Structure 1
Amino acid sequence: MRFTVLGGCGAWPAAGQACSGYVVEHEGFSVLVDPGYATLPRLLERMGAADVDAVLVTHGHPDHCADLNPLLRARALRPSSGTSSDRVPALPVYAPPGALDAVLALDKPRMLAGSFALHDLAPGVPQELGPFRLDVFDLPHHVPNAGLRLTGGGRVIACTGDTGPAAELAELARSADLLVAEATYPVHVPEEDAPYLSSALDAGRTAAAGGAARLLLTHLWPDTPAEPALAAAAESYDGDLAVAVGGLTVELP
């Protein structure tokens, strides 16, 4: 299984960077997770728009889903010879109910008609997604947010989306080979955001509690240094630790 970071900025993309966006590949199947601002150009450096087999969106904030629109345009509007072999199948897109209403409303329905098939993410109901098993966790954020756990080939990748404190995080991270955890702040989350966002310190505790083999901190404020976040996470987590930056790839053989 291969995990590739397209971007890891929270809120808006820094110069030369992108917001949250990741690709998980296994047995020739490619899953795009959270196509946030500026992720599509990074994706297209690695594969064609038609090569994406499914999209998972943790929640409806634009730094996690805005580039779904140009991805669907690239699939729906690509020149076609008219032959059946040239047609791109409808892209399965999974998100919390209603999370993508705004981004899908950017174009008239007929423009993107047939380019995607929208599915609701259902916490507690495992799904088969190509070669993966997908487990979904309901996690607290300003809007409905889905923690994602992808299992394939005996390996597990877990993603928190954006989340505040929750008992479910330990189960999401349980024995994960890679935990991708939101860490907007290094140590202290402002009081008004404390129920809805996490720090690197929180992420380290979650990884330690779940026994995750690797921890990737993501969603840091743009243009902030990685060192304070890494140091905070390392206070409670002594495993493999890094910050998500575009181009980073993790191989899980």
Structure 2
Amino acid sequence: MMRQVTVLGSCGAFPEPGRACSGFAVDWDGYRLVLDLGYATLPRLLAHWPDGAVDAVVVTHEHPDHCVDLHGLFRMRFYGDPGGPRLPLYCPPGVLERISGLEPDVDLRAVFDVHSLPGSHQVGPFALTGVSLPHYVPNAGIRVEADGVALAYTGDTGPTSVLAELGRDADLFIVEATDRDGEADRPIRNLLGSTEAGQWARRAGARRLMLTHFWPGNDRGASVAAAQEEFGGEVSAAEEGLTVALGGNSGVG
């Protein structure tokens, strides 16, 4: 029985050398779920699942550092497995339109079976809930639950009380901690810092916190320390290739 999440990418905006932008691969008793596919995540997904088989994809929003490699996955399916079953895709409005701009002569729905977020869906073994979180474009925070275990992921977000409910008692709460200079002073907030990530994870009562979406060049150790001071529980930094067990088999690989 394998229940785990593996980091495909951890950078915000653009990838640092040797890294990728936002993306996570969830293995749950043989079911394969992807959360976001930003720049450079597809090759890492294929390294993790060499056969390229994916059961469902969830994309939080249309910014390319979260969705652009969805286009590569489309091409792999469209040209490499023509006529295969459509792949369930859960995403807010705007994602498919953004990717369609890269492939205007083909209907992406030939490959993807699209379901709207925010909203609630049964996705394989998971009860999936997508909630609206503040960002520059429509963004869905994601919560997936199965067998009493919850995994929550913010995508990108500004501060909001919704975060406490999104991550309520989650086994693992993956929270963006961009720590972009000047963000805290903006009149309208659309991103978080690591201190805030720790605060919201504590308010949610999450069991563990993983920080992600690091602004390139930032000190990740300092981000973890800042979040740890507020959260009090286990805090990790998303690192490409890092695997974290879900449920009772907690641990890091």
Q: TM-score, normalised by structure 2?
A: 0.91
Q: Which residue of 2 aligns with 1:63?
A: 65
What aligned pairs does 1:22-61 form with structure 2 within 5 A after superposition?
22-48=24-50, 50-61=52-63
1:141 aligns with 2:141: no
Q: AA paired with 1:149?
A: R
Q: CA deviation at 1:209?
A: 0.6
Q: Which residue of 2 aligns with 1:78?
A: 80
For residue 3 of structure 1, the aligned residue among 2, 5, 24 is 5
CA deviation map 1:91-123 (0-9, x unaligned): 111111123311122113437552111111134
1:164 aligns with 2:154: no
Q: CA deviation at 1:248?
A: 0.5
SS at match of 1:100: helix
1:107 aligns with 2:103: yes
For residue 176 of structure 2, the aligned residue among 182, 187, 191 is 182
Number of aligned pairs? 245
Q: Distance in 1 between matches of 2:187 and 2:41?
A: 26
Q: Which residue of 2 aligns with 1:192?
A: 186
CA deviation map 1:8-54 (0-9, x unaligned): 00000111100000011212111111100000010010114641111
Identity within the alignment, %: 45
Unpaired runs of 5+ in structure 2? none
1:222 aligns with 2:216: yes
Q: CA deviation at 1:187?
A: 9.0
Q: TM-score, normalised by structure 1?
A: 0.91
CA deviation map 1:149-192 (0-9, x unaligned): 00012211000111001111000110000000000008963423
Q: Which residue of 1 aligns with 2:226?
A: 232
Decide whether the 8 Å contact of 1:187 with 1:199 is kept in 2.
no
Q: Distance in 2 between matches of 1:32 and 1:237?
A: 27
Decide whether the 8 Å contact of 1:187 with 1:200 is kept in 2.
no
- Bigger shift: residues 140-149 or 187-196: 187-196
Decide whether the 8 Å contact of 2:96 with 2:108 is kept in 1.
no
Report the RMSD for the aligned CA atoms in angstroms: 1.8
Q: Which residue of 2 aligns with 1:154?
A: 148
